[in-house]
Every structure is written in C-alpha cells, then in structure tokens.
Amino acid sequence: PLYHRAEYLLNAPNLKTTPKGVEYEVAFAGRSNAGKSSAINTLTNQKSLARTSKTPGRTQQLVYFKLDDQRCLVDLPGYGFAKVPPKIQQQWQTELERYLEKRQALHGLVLLVDIRRSLGEYDRQMIDYATHLNLDVFVALTKADKLNRNNAKNTLFAVQKQLKDSPGNVQVELFSSLKKEGVEQLHNWLDEHLNV
C-alpha cells in the first residue's frame, strides 16, 4: 500500500518552508509519549521512520514524510513537555496556528491520545481548533492493548460521548501499535482525506 512507501522528505520550521506541489496532507499531533512515533511507524510499516526516542521539546518543526508526489504525512511536535521555554513555546504556537489555518494541502488531523490518560486540555484545544477550521479529526486511543477489552471499549464509548457535540467531523477509534489494532480504520480514514 501507499503508506508503506513513506519516506522522510524534510523538516519545516514554519508555513513558508513547507514543500510546494503537495496537494494532500494529514498532520499527526499528540502529547509527548502518546505513541505518535510508534503509530506513524506502524502505519508505514517501518521500524524507525519517525524516531521513537527523541529529545523531548527539542526543535519544534513540522516533519514531512512523502507518500507520493502529491501526498504527505506530517508529524507535528509532541506537546506537554515543560522543558520548552515559554517564549519558544509561544512562537511555535503561532507558527502552528498559521500552518493549520493556511496550509492549503492540509485535509485532516490525526490526534494520538494515550487511552489511559484520556483527553487533556491541549487535546481538546487541538480538536476544537481543527474542527473550527473545518478539518476532520481522527482520534486514535493509543496503547489500547494496555487495557482489557471491556475497559478499552468503555473508554472508547466515553470519549466518543465526550466528543459527540463537537461541531466538526470527529472519529474516535482504539489503536495499538503493539497489536496492530485500528490500523485498517486509520488507513481507510487517511485514504479518504488524502484522496487516495
């Protein structure tokens, strides 16, 4: 499949440096340690495309992975690490909002949330901001293998309920990189949003 052909393209510190000619892209966001790198590696069937051990809060950039000449996946910096100085954090927030608002190619947001932590304040903000911009959101409840089936399902229903009044199009699914759960659903959602 298309996703298995992903390769690293470039790092972009801001909207201006994002690649030209891309027509469809989907961005991946989440709290640090939510399992975002693992999810990207799982989706692309690669061991270390998105590095799983990064220095938290290092440079805050958009990391582009190319699928084909028109399509990319974009890894946003993980949030929630206090190490980033407030001034840098603020600058990045401005760049991120500009990107989410202005990037023509952007067609959706995948938000990774650790199933044991549920939605944090920043997760809610990302969902609200994206839906306000008319971007569809896929919430992947990661590490679903850490809970037994009942608890995983109940958490899924609870999060779906929390988000049911969201103005936009928000889909919530269980996900596990370890057990390859939810991979097909996310591939299908990506297909739709990347016009595959």
Q: By the criterion CB under 6 A, which residues form the site for ligand GDP?
A: 30, 32-38, 52, 78, 142-143, 145-146, 176-178
Closest approach of ligand GDP to the CB of residue 164, in Å: 25
Closest approach of ligand GDP to the CB of residue 25, in Å: 19
| Shorter beta-carbon distance to ligand GDP: residue 44 or 177 | 177
Closest approach of ligand GDP to the CB of residue 77, in Å: 10
Reduce the secondary structure of the chain to three states and give it as a string: CHHHHCEEEEEECCHHHCCCCCCEEEEEEEECCCCHHHHHHHHHCCCCCCCCCCCCCCCCCEEEEEEECCEEEEECCCECCCCCCHHHHHHHHHHHHHHHHHCCCEEEEEEEEECCCCCCHHHHHHHHHHHHCCCEEEEEEECHHHCCHHHHHHHHHHHHHHCCCCCCCEEEEECECCCCECHHHHHHHHHHHCCC
| Shorter beta-carbon distance to ligand GDP: residue 32 or 162 | 32
| Shorter beta-carbon distance to ligand GDP: residue 40 or 67 | 40
Closest approach of ligand GDP to the CB of residue 181, in Å: 8
